[in-house]
Structure 1
Amino acid sequence: GTDDYPTKPIEEPVLKQVLVHWNPNTCTESIGKVAPSYVDEPASEVPATAENTQPDVIIDWQAALKQSANKEDLAKDMLRMLIDFIPEVEEVVDHALEQDDYSREELIHVIHKLHGSSSYCGVPRLKSLCATLEHALRSGASIEEIEPEMFELQDEMIKVTTTAKLYLEQ
């Protein structure tokens, strides 16, 4: 067994380190510790809010490239998959806002999936909004209580979809 694991988002150097560490045929002197790129960020129990991210950055292409190991085609594919998923999220958010008895669990599931997707695409405000919403919902907030953030999420998804065209058409 092992008690070692890489956390999401998985970074290639960290994954290699874990694999080398647990391979019995590896010389232990050659293993160096690699910290994930996000280790320098201060840890916080409460996720970053949309207000404390850069307000003018819709897509941080350098962050997207970093997540894709500087492979532009992969970064574009990841962004395209995010854009393809957004209509499904919009539909769920619309239903959640319109129906008083909409399933919080379904909303949490979709927001969690969008949060994960946005982690790989260099969309800091969208990622932050998802983190805020997911945290609030998992903490017991009602859909009515997070309505303003849901409207922000709708606006941000439109901005990301519109801005993504500039990167995907290149």
Structure 2
Amino acid sequence: MKNRKWSYSLLTALLSLVSHAAFAGWSTHVEDDVFTGGQKAMLVDVKSELNGVVFDCSKDHLKVSYIESGDTTDITDGIQAELVFKVDQSKPVKFDALTTTRNNNFFGVKSAENDDSLKLLLSELKAASHHILVGVHYLQSDQKYSYTFDTIGSAKAVNKFVKACEIDLSGISPQKS
């Protein structure tokens, strides 16, 4: 729990202390994981200090989240949603997801863990050259939101991320639409 809080604190610090101009590009933070004996990593791209995309991994789990800064006191965890990513001209990659409170400052929608589609999305992100569209569909209210993220630094950041968590992307190719 302490390491999770530390990671959330790092994310909060990254999002709140850096100027908007510096929010250009994907980055990966890696640290040792006492529970698995391996490493854990967080792959992050932030559109602004208000929202971002976060991949979390360790040797035994992998998930992706769309997050937003805001008042988390009114957030209900566990509401069903759909998280959709479209990288460049690839086919959309869809995930069953749930609303979540990430920490005191951020809420979001997180995917189910260890879905093979997560590896496909990482492969597409590694090869990305133009933009990434992220869609959030709240099933209960049928509200849909779409966001565009840059691909700056995505290949290098994905390589560092998959190496840290021993994720094998060999044989997985982006699926063009």
Structure 1 or 2, whichever has the larger Rg, is: 1
> Which TM-score tier does this pair reach, normalised by the shorter chain?
under 0.3
**TM-score, normalization: structure 1?**
0.27
Bigger relative contact order, structure 1 or 2, given CA contacts below 8 A and separation 6+? 1
Greater per-residue strand proportion: 2
